[in-house]
């Protein structure tokens, strides 16, 4: 797992060691009297041994930094798909975004990355990460952020003529804020208020008109109502039926209506679905 502090420490150590070897070389070149052959051989061997030990320590440090320390918390898995010239992100709670990547502060994250067209490379300089992505192959990048704020992400591969336009923003926020954002929640908002907001934002009433004359059946008074399906069977519209109809609207279509409703599976989190269900319970009336 990438840790920016460890990467910076390793880079600083490599810089200081390189500078030290350079100063030693300058000091040796300042000697005007030639060294005896025996002493020269000893110094050459010591120089080579010291260089090998330093390079080996850097190689080991790079390996340990790349592997990262084990973490007790399960990593949040986020899907990142690259396509000319955009980044598409899918969070586990169902939230989607384009050319933006929201991350929790100080919590392990695993990016599952792939490309839809040509090779790309996700680069986030502020987080010290860069990872190539290929068509038909999923690659993973584990990281843990150390600082809140907004940072730049871009494609570091020569992916086409508009490569410079393939940029985005990384937004690092507190874990609680991230979870609320990923679930589509508003701080201080009750489930009923969240359900009403979702109902209006998704424009449910455009198709589910209260008089039943829309493209879908009326939702007012739906919970507990007996409905007839296109196959001629009947059932009671309980909570499980409503949730199933949101996730898979083609599964049980009400008689008199066409299966035209889009599926919201993977687009709404469980908390959003429950909030929407709570609001639907408050809608009274409607045809029976």
- Domain boundaries defined on the chain: 4-67, 76-182, 191-282
Strands 86-90 and 96-98: antiparallel
Task: Give the model's pLDDT for residue 3.
Answer: 61
* Under-70 pLDDT residues of the chain: 1-8, 10, 29, 31-35, 62-72, 285-288
**CA nearest 287: which of 213, 204, 232?**
213
DSSP per-residue codes, 147-177: S-EEEEEEE-S--STTGGG-EEEEEEE-HHH
The CATH number that domain 76-182 falls under is 2.60.40.420
Q: What are phi and psi of 101, to 5 degrees?
A: -140, 105
CATH superfamily of 191-282: Cytochrome c-like domain (1.10.760.10)
Any bridge partners for residue 80, and if so which?
Answer: 89, 113
Task: Give the model's pLDDT for residue 1.
Answer: 55
**CA nearest 130: which of 272, 284, 7?**
7
Which residue shows structure tokens 């008109």?
A: 209
CA distance 185 to 276: 12
Distances (CA, A) of 131 to 102, 137, 149, 150, 151: 18, 13, 21, 20, 16
**CA nearest 108: which of 1, 6, 7?**
1
Task: Give the model's pLDDT for residue 132.
Answer: 93
Task: Give the model's pLDDT for residue 96.
Answer: 87
CA distance 101 to 151: 10
């Amino acid at each position: 797992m990438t840790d920016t502090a460890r990467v910076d420490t390793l880079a600083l150590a490599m810089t200081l060691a390189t500078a030290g070897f350079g100063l030693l070389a300058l000091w040796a070149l300042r000697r005007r009297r030639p060294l005896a052959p025996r002493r020269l051989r000893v110094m050459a061997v010591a120089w080579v041994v010291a260089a090998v030990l330093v390079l080996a320590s850097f190689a080991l440090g790079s390996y340990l930094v790349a592997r990262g320390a084990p973490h007790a918390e399960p990593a949040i898995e986020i899907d990142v798909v690259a396509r000319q010239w955009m980044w598409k992100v899918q969070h586990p709670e169902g939230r989607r975004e384009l050319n933006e990547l929201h991350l929790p502060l100080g919590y392990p994250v695993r990016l599952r990355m792939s490309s839809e067209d040509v090779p790309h490379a996700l680069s986030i300089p502020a987080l010290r990460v860069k990872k190539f992505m290929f068509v038909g192959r999923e690659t993973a990048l584990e990281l843990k952020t150390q600082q809140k704020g907004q940072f730049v992400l871009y494609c570091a591969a020569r992916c086409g003529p508009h490569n410079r336009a393939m940029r985005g923003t990384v937004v690092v926020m507190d874990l609680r804020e991230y979870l609320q954002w990923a679930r589509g929640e508003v701080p201080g908002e009750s489930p009923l208020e969240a359900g009403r907001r979702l109902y209006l934002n998704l424009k449910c009433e455009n198709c589910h008109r209260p008089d039943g004359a829309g493209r879908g059946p009326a939702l007012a008074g739906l919970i507990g109502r007996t409905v007839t399906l296109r196959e001629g069977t009947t059932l009671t519209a309980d909570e499980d039926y409503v949730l199933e109809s949101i996730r898979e609207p083609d599964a049980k279509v009400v008689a008199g209506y066409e299966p035209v409703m889009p599926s919201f599976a993977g687009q709404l989190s469980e908390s959003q679905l429950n909030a929407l269900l709570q609001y639907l319970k408050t809608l009274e009336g409607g045809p029976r």
